[in-house]
Structure 1
């Protein structure tokens, strides 16, 4: 293991972590405020990626595509909340799981019908297509650093929104006692729609940014959704701070494990066996991390009601 490789993989872990934060922050807001298990959250990630890729390909501008992807994800989220989610708030979690799982299937087939089965490709904007030098002589893509910066900016913006604004006060109140804020004259239905659309927009932003690093295809949101659920369980349901810390932990553990565990096992195993065992254990590391944290902190690292 060399220092340049370690530094590069640390940045890769941070980039994965900040992308997961964009997903997990919206998911934990929805769960914390509404008490809703939303398996369709990954579909908004996919919507953002597809709309961004299609719009950028049509207009030739990544930035126009990015704006369109975020707005489309927010609009779709608001419509879904109005038409479907609103009827699930007072239902059991099993009903919420079944209904939002059905939404996954609807979004997948709808996306395939609109955009076709072939993957779309989104090019990194020219202004962000270069690389910067890292200590040791290696180079790292600028766009990945931008993803990290966007995640940090979103984290700061969410902190200010939740802690310093009237809307944030209503969101926190809705999380603590929704009946009381309804009695005080606040339109809880509009608040829920706004929070749900905000969470969808954050997922759309994540999909739009990651779409420039990988192919945009149907079903791309489900693997990320699983990681996002792991993040909010580790960080604490309803906690933006927990979502940020949990995302960084998961991103670093997953990335470093996949890169360095096979090399570690090669010290005392045959290369072929080491690669297989290392890869298998690396895929389990984030779940081992979750189990260890929950053993000592059953509500997560920063439970919202602690």
Structure 2
């Protein structure tokens, strides 16, 4: 493997890992802070990808905007969706057993898949990146790297920094961390824990949908795309530590490198390399790399 190929694979691993982090961060927030096993989280990734495909014509016609306008509208819709879902369904699951949480959120997967089939159909669709992001940068004499993949990485890094600032430096972040530690005490101090959890769930949905929107031009848009990303994101959450944003970031990058270089160096076992990593982590640190916070 020459230097240019190695560099390209490193960039691919970082981009994939950061995209996984964007999805897994919402999952670890919902799972670690709210205590809800949300199997429907991958469906929010799928919804984001389909919004990137379906909203573009309407946004261009009515708002006259392009890619970023579509993203802004999609994020607003996903926040509203998450808020309503938490209010109507998830809010009744906090005191229930995990089995009931699994059954409820699995039912949401079936509903979302059926609605997707009715509204958009079962075909595979492509989403074009903006023209100014459709070029490539040279790496070596013959290899190039797409600018749009670098854009994906930049967006994920910006979101990660924003999440760190909110959770570590703001009053809202303090309330979220306190609610994760002792829900009853936070409620006794006058904080509306229901509203707080509603906001957390809406943000988690928006993060997954944002990941789907920015990934759509790279991976295309197809039925069932949320199922595969859900499994790998649970792996990220387990490795990083349930409820830990920092752990999710480091674990996602680890998974990205293991998966990418596994496919290049040992393709015969690449499919199980990530799960081997998770098994080693469970043996070494069953609680994950970091605790919630």
Q: TM-score, normalised by structure 1?
A: 0.91
1:80 equivalent in alignment to 2:68: no
| CA deviation vs aligned residue, 1:153-205 (integer Å, no higher than 9, x gap) | 11111111000000000000000001001011100110011000000000011
Which segment is superposed worse, 111-120 or 21-30? 111-120
**Counterpart in the other structure of 1:183:** 188
- Structure 2 unaligned residues grouped into runs of 5+: 61-65
Contact 1:77/1:197 (8 A) holds in 2: yes
Matches within 5 A, 1:211-290: 211-262=216-267, 278=268, 281-290=269-278
**Counterpart in the other structure of 1:39:** 39
| CA distance, structure 2, for counterparts of residue 176 and residue 296 of structure 1 | 25
Contact 1:4/1:137 (8 A) holds in 2: no
| CA distance, structure 2, for counterparts of residue 107 and residue 42 of structure 1 | 10
* Structure 1 position 120, deviation (Å): 2.6
1:294 pairs with one of 271, 277, 282: 282
**In the superposition, relative to structure 1, how do residues 135 and 176 fare at CA in structure 2: closer, same or farther (>3 Å)?**
farther
User: Aligned with 1:213: secondary structure?
Assistant: helix
* Structure 1 position 220, deviation (Å): 0.9
**Number of residues of Structure 1 aligned to a counterpart in Structure 2:** 288
- Structure 1 unaligned residues grouped into runs of 5+: 263-277
* Structure 1 position 43, deviation (Å): 1.1
**Counterpart in the other structure of 1:57:** 57
Q: TM-score, normalised by structure 2?
A: 0.95
Contact 1:62/1:123 (8 A) holds in 2: no
| CA distance, structure 2, for counterparts of residue 286 and residue 53 of structure 1 | 30
* Structure 1 position 137, deviation (Å): 4.6
Q: Aligned-residue CA RMSD in angstroms?
A: 1.2
| CA distance, structure 2, for counterparts of residue 220 and residue 147 of structure 1 | 18
| CA distance, structure 2, for counterparts of residue 165 and residue 299 of structure 1 | 27
| CA distance, structure 1, for counterparts of residue 77 and residue 42 of structure 2 | 14
